[in-house]
A and B are shown apart, each in its own frame.
Chain A
Amino acid sequence: MKRTGFLSWALWFGYAFLYVPIALLIIYSFNENRLVTVWSGFSTKWYGELLENDQLLSAARLSLEVGAISATVSTILGTIAGLALARFGRFRGRTLFGGMITAPLVMPEVITGLSLLLVFVALEGLTGWPDGRGMTTITIAHTTFTMAYVAVVVQSRLVSMDESLEEAAMDLGARPAKVFFVITLPIISPAIVSGWLLAFTLSLDDLVIASFVSGPGSTTLPMVIFSSVRFGVSPQVNALATIIVLLVATGIFIATMLMARQDRQRLRDEQMAQQGG
């Protein structure tokens, strides 16, 4: 069929568009030449130079710390928010709450960054906290904007989940808290894991918001990359990019495998439970 032909061509073109730049980046990270686009032989020397770049390494450490803390906090908050949106029905202030949860998904980063900085400055003027800007403010800022993503992931999982399991537990006399921790939480755990991963990568990735809310001495990895890219393309950045791409791809691959397995297991369990009952 002709139309299917067009569609699969479009699909392959789209995949090429998405992946060719990343593939080229990886290939050229092994280039001997200083000039990024002139190939002059295989070399891993840029990786060696990268390992001696203290500025980059300490920025990477800060980014990982901020990412881990903010992802954890935003997973807790986002899970509660997703639960509220999917299960609490209509409550007072729901419209405002839903708005505040979904707006960060689309809000331009410059606005979020600027407004968070101004709230930190105002808070410091009023209460003396946070004292200057640094890791704390970056973490809070990242928690705020990644929470929305976690909430959406958890909410969509909860909406597609079979509510009768929770109702059955409730009928058998379980209190809401028990139902949540024993029934709901294990079932939505894949969504929580992917929510955490999403929050973590978004935090590692963010340049604009971090630039606004960071202070002297707290430079995140994207900030270092951004300033070095503005100086000119360096093969070291290619090497770093390759490491990041490979780490992320491995992490996502493992997480997907685990989640797919858990999903199959859950489906099997549910089927068996239905047949048994």
Chain B
Amino acid sequence: MSRKGFIPLGNRMGEGRPPGYDIGGAVVVQWAVALLRRAGLWGRGLVLAVPYLWLLLFFLVPFLIVFKISFSEAELAQPPYTALFAWLTDDSGEGGKLQIILNLGNYIRLWADDLYVLAYLSSLKMAAISTLLCLLLGYPMAYAIALAPPSRRGALMMLVILPFWTSFLIRVYAWIGILKANGILTGILSSLGLVDEHFEILYSDTAVYIGITYTYLPFMILPLYATLEKLDRTLLEAAADLGCRPWQAFLKITLPLSIPGIIAGSLLVFIPAVGEFVIPELLGGPDTLMIGRVLWNEFFSNRDWPVASAVAIALLAFLVVPIMIFQYVQGKQDAEVRR
């Protein structure tokens, strides 16, 4: 197989196809190939072009469009927002002018209306508390697995990941039966005489904390385990030889060395949790305010696409810093592994 082995791969995807291929211009193709080769783009570059173009078209461009629509006004039409750019001509069809209308009203509304500000703040709070709960529960688990004999680590990690493979919606749903009044948890607690039988956790912020912690726990454990497993155990032995107590050694050696894992895991939980919709919708009460829910309602109930877009852009703005930190940590870990 020659270097051309990559061509069918590109063609199958229908992208990264050399221009002129369809018109049957074999000469054009040859010329383009020669040009690309000279530019060092043939082969690698062509292969790369396929996922690159896909991501540009379906990941980056969408955000630009959301950004654009957040400046338009809602209207009763299809699509339900006004155009930002208009080509104005006078009656005779002459004197074309480009008109751009930027409507900042959506963003002003976000600030002026308490609902949005409160929803953003409460989302940040709920995500932060859930992240902390995941860390408190996940750290000892990850550490216990990292300390287990190597032959058992794989199976123990598998047990952590397995629930992640089963439906997320169904796992959230499972908690409804546990947390509701007359549910399983109430039954246990009331038979112990701790609460009366009408006690209900469901439809409260506590239920949302439990739900987020439960569904995102594997995301916390995975990076924590990855850093704790690499930890040099001789450091702990040296500390013990020098008279360090186990908890001191933990605080002075294990914890600081596992900070990259803590950061990566916390961000993997925190960022998606801020925009969470399903968990507060199913487990939270009517007054559980989260921005993902607000966005959903603006979009599906109020049919106000521009405001929904503005909510999304503002949410993204809140998350830019954590996402950048995540990518930085991720990049550093990659570089470390490669070395």
- Which residues of A approach B to under 8 Å, CB–CB? 1, 3-4, 6-8, 10-11, 13-15, 17-19, 21-22, 24-25, 28, 36-37, 76-78, 80-81, 83-86, 88, 91, 93, 96-112, 114-116, 118-119, 121-122, 125, 140-141, 143-144, 147, 151, 155-156, 159-160, 175-178, 181, 197, 201, 204-205, 207-208, 211-212, 222, 225-226, 229-230, 233, 237, 240-241, 244-245, 248-249, 252, 256, 260
Contact = CB atoms under 8 A, between A and B. Distances in A.
Contacts of B168: 205, 207
A248 B165 contact: yes
B268 A108 contact: no
Contacts of B13: 76-77
B177 A233 contact: yes
B226 to A, nearest CB: 9
Nearest to B175: A21
Contact of A111 (B57, B300, B312, B331): B312
Contact of B316 (A78, A111, A178, A248): A111
A25 B272 contact: no
Which of A88, A96, A207 has the most chain B CB within a 10 Å cutoff? Answer: A207
Contacts of B56: 100
23 contacts: A8-B144, A11-B144, A14-B140, A18-B159, A25-B174, A37-B180, A80-B50, A88-B44, A106-B323, A110-B275, A115-B62, A115-B63, A115-B65, A118-B69, A141-B58, A143-B58, A144-B54, A147-B55, A225-B169, A225-B173, A229-B169, A230-B282, A260-B154
B2 interface: yes
Given A14-B138, A97-B55, A102-B326, A252 B167 contact: no
Contacts of A93: 52
A207 B278 contact: yes
B222 to A, nearest CB: 11
Nearest to A38: B182
B5 A175 contact: yes
B246 A3 contact: yes
Interface of B: 1-6, 9, 13, 43-45, 47-48, 50-52, 54-63, 65-66, 69, 79, 137-138, 140-141, 143-145, 147, 154, 156, 158-160, 162-163, 165-171, 173-178, 180, 182-184, 187, 214, 217, 246-247, 250, 267-268, 271-272, 274-278, 281-282, 292, 295-296, 299-300, 305, 308-309, 312, 315-316, 319, 323, 326-327, 330-331, 334, 337-338
A7 B3 contact: no
Contacts of A119: 57-58, 61-62, 65
A241 B62 contact: no
Nearest to A240: B170
A21 B174 contact: yes
A109 B305 CA distance: 16
A85 B158 CA distance: 26
B147 A4 contact: yes
A104 B177 contact: no
Given A21-B178, A114-B295, A108 B58 contact: no
Main secondary structure of the interface of A (DSSP, over half): helix
Nearest to A105: B268
A114 B50 contact: no
A102 B328 CA distance: 11
The 5 A-B residue pairs with the shortest CB-CB distance, nearest first, are: A108-B275, A177-B5, A10-B140, A115-B62, A21-B174
A249 B170 CA distance: 14
A110 B169 contact: no
